Structure 1
């Protein structure tokens, strides 16, 4: 009996951006181990955009969310896509984002997209019916 091996699509973050951060940190390279550190790690809230695509491809889609510390959770309670950190430290932020992206790797782009859309607002949200998205796979 032969079994076919299924391979997951590997996702990558080309880069992130946030105009809410100081100017020299507005472009975020999650491959870098150092990045923005907040003056008060318990008092952070910022909008984050991520260009996410399939590893090996130059094509990416934009996904957005808000990053907030527990202290600021009430400020963003009406936002649908929020990643809450106990305290903001770049390494914890980076690890949280990369873990989410890794957890969304799947056998098809549609399955990756379905998972990513649970965590982030997709730039094309509402433009396609689910059955049409499945066909684009």
Structure 2
């Protein structure tokens, strides 16, 4: 019997800035900026998940928040407008691209797009 390839799963997508994120309606494109928390796990038989973080913003919102030359330096998903369900689909597509044979390998690739709750964490031995 062939074993199914593990897949990354988006368990939850939320924001402490706007609760619930699914009902957020930005007043303008300049106001379309949020820090988003992603609860991601893998359907590999192991229980649990980890948190990853990403900012979402329109170009107008980034310009409004820019300081001189630098607009942003990393881990931002730039969108034309906010749509919770389209954003969720985009993130699920990123998860498909990042899925590898196991959690450790997948997690390394996820960090190209999102900040990880354990990024730069040093285990004490």
* Shared fold, TM over 0.5: yes
Question: Are 1:36 and 2:27 matched, yes or no?
Answer: no
Corresponding residue for residue 53 of structure 2: 64
Q: Which of 3, 8, 19 is equivalent to 2:5? A: 8
Indicate the RMSD between aligned Cα atoms, in angstroms: 2.4
1:80 Cα deviation after fit: 2.5
Corresponding residue for residue 99 of structure 1: 93
1:51 Cα deviation after fit: 1.1
In structure 2, the CA distance between the partners of 1:6 and 1:79, relative to structure 1 (3 Å rule), is: farther
TM-score, normalization: structure 1?
0.71
Corresponding residue for residue 46 of structure 1: 34
1:57 Cα deviation after fit: 3.8
1:72 Cα deviation after fit: 1.2
Provide the rounded CA distance (Å) in 2 between the counterparts of 1:103 and 1:63.
Answer: 16
Q: Unaligned 5+ residue runs, structure 1?
A: 27-34, 130-137
Provide the rounded CA distance (Å) in 2 between the counterparts of 1:117 and 1:49.
Answer: 14
1:53 Cα deviation after fit: 0.6
Count of equivalent residues: 115
Corresponding residue for residue 114 of structure 1: 108
Q: 103-112 or 40-49, which moves further after superposition?
A: 40-49
TM-score, normalization: structure 2?
0.77
Q: Unaligned 5+ residue runs, structure 2?
A: none
Q: Are 2:62 and 2:72, in contact at CA under 8 Å, matched by a contact in 1?
A: no
1:17 Cα deviation after fit: 2.2
